Structures are given as structure tokens and as C-alpha cells.
Amino acid sequence: MKQLVVNFKCLKCGNCCVNLINYSPHLTTGLYLLPDEIGLFSTKYIAPCIGTDLHLLDNTPQVVRVFQLNIAICPKLTSKNECLIYKERPRVCHSYPIQISMSRDQCKIEPRFSTNCHFMKQYYGENKQQKIAFSGEKEETTYHQIEHYFQSVFDNYQGDIRFYDLNTQSWV
């Protein structure tokens, strides 16, 4: 498979900060946040995402390993499509337009291109299925940090993982 090198240039369209809710038939999720990133947002915008260490009585997680925003538009996006916390933004924002595609059934993650990014649509068109190569070391390092964290959760807690569905507001 041919590699597609992403030489990303932000067009400040704001699409990366809107439509943050990912709707699927089995699980509705928001923008992923690692535990050290939840302080960037008000607690009213944060929900659990991936939990482990299941309670014996009701099989609900006792420990949240990954969090998520529970709103469609980032509260840090200004009317000029600028980020109020750009230098401290979450890792998933640093690695954009590369996003994590998570499979709940297989407990694995894969990189994918954002379908919301105007830059990707304009310059790369329909090449989104090609293997991803990064143009910058920082983006690649950031993405691999996220990937490593998620994979370590999946590997270490295989049968004891639950996902929080924003649509039903319950663990599945």
C-alpha cells in the first residue's frame, strides 16, 4: 500500500473543533482526553470514555482511563476559529488531521484521516485510505503517544474494559 505523506497546513476553518461527537450504531463518543488533559476544560464538558477495574456487583468501571468531551463544539474555539488553549491543547488536537479510530469490539486503534478537515479534502481528496506517513516529527510523536496509551489500556485490561456511550449515558 502506498504511503500518503501529510504536509499539513491549518486553514483555520474550525472544522476540527466542531462535530466532535462521533455517532455510530454501537457507541457514541466525543473528543478523547487523556487523564492529564481534563483540567483544560470545565468538568461540565467532560465525561468518562474508557473505564477499567470493574465492580463485582454491577460490572461498572471503578477507574476511568480515558475521558471525552461531551459536546459537539469545543468550548475553547473562538468566533475567529482560533483555539484559546492552542499551546496546551489535548494530544488528539496536536495530531490532527490524523485521528484515532477505535474499535470497541476488537480493543484496538488505528490512525485515520479526519473527514471534516478542509485541508485534507482540498489537497488529498479521496486518498484517505492510504497508509499514513507523517511530515513532522512532533505530529508523529504525539500520535504515537496517544496510540501507546490506548494500546496499553487495551492490553493491560483486556476483559475488564467498558466504554461510556454519550448517547445512552451509560457504560457498554
pLDDT tens digit string along 4-52?
566 677 788 888 899 899 888 888 999 999 999 999 999 999 999 999 9
Q: Is the pLDDT of residue 125 over 70?
A: no
Q: Between 138 and 38, name the one with better pLDDT.
A: 38
Q: Which helix (H) or strand (E) segment is 3 a member of?
A: strand 3-6
pTM, entire model: 0.86
In angstroms, the CA 164 to CA 40 distance is 20
Q: 59-92, pLDDT tens digit by residue? A: 899 999 999 999 999 999 999 999 999 999 999 9
Q: 89-117, pLDDT tens digit by residue? A: 999 998 888 787 776 665 667 777 777 88
User: Could you tell me if 156 and 43 are in contact, meaning their C-beta atoms sit under 8 angstroms apart?
Assistant: no
Q: Half-sphere exposure of 107 toward its Cβ, with a 13 Å CA cutoff?
A: 17
In angstroms, the CA 122 to CA 115 distance is 11
**CA dist 105 to 5, 19, 25, Å?**
29, 24, 13
Residue 163 contacts by C-beta under 8 Å, 6 or more apart in sequence? 27, 29, 49, 50, 51, 104, 171, 172
Q: Is the pLDDT of residue 129 over 60?
A: no
